[in-house]
Structure formats: C-alpha cells, structure tokens
Amino acid sequence: MSLSVIIIDDDPVAVFLHQFAVRQSGLSIDPKGFLSGKEALDYLDTRDHSSKPCLLLLDINMQQMNGWEFLEAINTRPYAEFIFVTIVSSSVDTSDRKKAEQFNRVIGYLEKPLDANALHDFISVSKGNTHDQ
C-alpha cells in the first residue's frame, strides 16, 4: 500500500524518525515532513487533491500552530474531505484523546515514539473502519 502521508511535528528528529517508520511500515514510500502546521497548510493549499486521500500524522504540542489550531484550520479548507488525521503525541492525557474525538477528520491517536509496528497495527484496525468522515 502506498498512501500520501504528511508528518507534522516541530521536532526535526521526530519528523525524521516518523518518516523512517512510515517507510518501514510500507504505508508510504515518500512521506512528506513539515516542522509547523502553517508549512503543512501552505503545502496542502497548493496540492492537487483529486488524486487520492492524504493521511496526516499530527503532533498536538507545537509552538507556532498547535495541532488543535491546525485541525480547526483544515476544517475550513475545501479539500478537508480528502484529509484524514492521526494524532501522534507524547501526551498520555485522556482529555487530549477525548478532544481529538471531537474532530471528524481525526481517525486515530498514537503515542510517541511512533514505530513501524504501531503503524502496522493502526493500518489493520483502520481497514475495518468504514464510518464516513
């Protein structure tokens, strides 16, 4: 399976490691990485969304634009229906998980560190997820 995957995290080491995990999992051969939500939005605003859906692996604790602000912004975009988000965070706070469930674009929540095994498990579970976004 090769999917369009975008990683958004303000830690360059996390972006690098997540790109590696995504490649190892077979989810995507060329995951894009961005160090801010603003950079990712700029990229998404210029991308052709007619080809295929895009999975975003989104950190919530970022300086410039946090993940919650990013999710609010993405909902106003005309291509929102093609965007699916999995939160990837070091937060183990249950209130963050509950807040994530309030966003219809969010399809999952994974804890850092992300690795290929976690992605394999996520892919398996997601294949059974057929609810409309």
Look at residue 126 in the predicted model and tell me its pLDDT. 53
pLDDT tens digit sequence for 66-123:
999 999 999 999 999 999 999 999 888 899 999 999 999 999 999 888 877 777 766 6
- Residue 86 CA, distance from chain mean position: 4
Look at residue 132 in the predicted model and tell me its pLDDT. 39
Confidence (pTM): 0.87
CATH number, domain with residue 100: 3.40.50.2300
Look at residue 120 in the predicted model and tell me its pLDDT. 72
pLDDT tens digit sequence for 40-66:
999 999 987 666 789 999 999 998 899
Establish if 122 belongs to a structural domain.
yes
Look at residue 131 in the predicted model and tell me its pLDDT. 39
- Residue 77 CA, distance from chain mean position: 16
The span from the CA of 104 to the CA of 84, in Å, is: 9
| Overall domain count for the chain | 1
- Which residue has tokens 């590696």? 20
6-10, 36-40, 48-52, range with the lowest pLDDT: 48-52
Q: Which residue range(s) make up the domain with 117?
A: 4-127
Establish if 93 belongs to a structural domain.
yes
Phi and psi dihedrals of 60, rounded to 5?
Answer: -100, -25
Look at residue 6 in the predicted model and tell me its pLDDT. 96
Establish if 44 belongs to a structural domain.
yes
Q: Which helix (H) or strand (E) holds 65?
A: none
The span from the CA of 75 to the CA of 95, in Å, is: 21
DSSP state letter for 71:
H
Look at residue 130 in the predicted model and tell me its pLDDT. 38
Q: What is the mean pLDDT of residues 15-34?
A: 93
Distances (CA, A) of 22 to 4, 11, 50, 62, 75: 11, 16, 23, 21, 25
Establish if 132 belongs to a structural domain.
no
19 — pLDDT class (breaks 50, 70, 90): very high
Reduce the DSSP state of residue 109 to 3 states and report it.
strand
Look at residue 35 in the predicted model and tell me its pLDDT. 96
- Which residue has tokens 């990485």? 33
